[in-house]
Amino acid sequence: MLSASHRLHSDALTPDENRIAYGKCNNPHGHGHNYTIEVLVGGEVEQATGMVINLVDLDETVKRLVIERFDHTNLNLDPLFASVVPTTENLCSIVFGLLKENLRAGKLASVRVEETENNFFQCFDAPSAAGSKAA
């Protein structure tokens, strides 16, 4: 889990368009969430260890690349969001990319970021299922 703030605002939109698109999330002072990050890996189970990936290594990678970078920050100020609106959809995509580039073993199947109990976004590795899913 990580706690972070953000302001949903696009320089490509007018102030009125931003208010319509993002509503109260366009508040100039921002707002925060307690995000839950779920990582799903898949692949062959190593016969010697009985694991697809060492969970200690996975937890350390998520902590180092995601939690330490984004926890208690303003997402708008992170360079990865310099030209991207820090929506939860984009956060999910960015987290997926960071992990996919850096996992040593196993295959990253998906990343799910829960913003509230009512919505989450999920990125998948399979090209036919790539993208975000809201529920």
Q: Are 75 and 83 in contact (CB under 8 A)?
A: no
Q: Which two tokens stand for residue 10?
A: 């696009």
CA-angle at 26, arms to 24 and 28, nearest 5°: 110
Question: CB of 66 within 8 A of CB of 95?
Answer: yes
Q: Which of 71, 62, 90, 77 is nearest to 33 (CA)?
A: 71
What SS3 state is found at 126? Answer: coil
Annotated catalytic sites, by residue? 25, 72, 115
75 DSSP 8-state letter = G
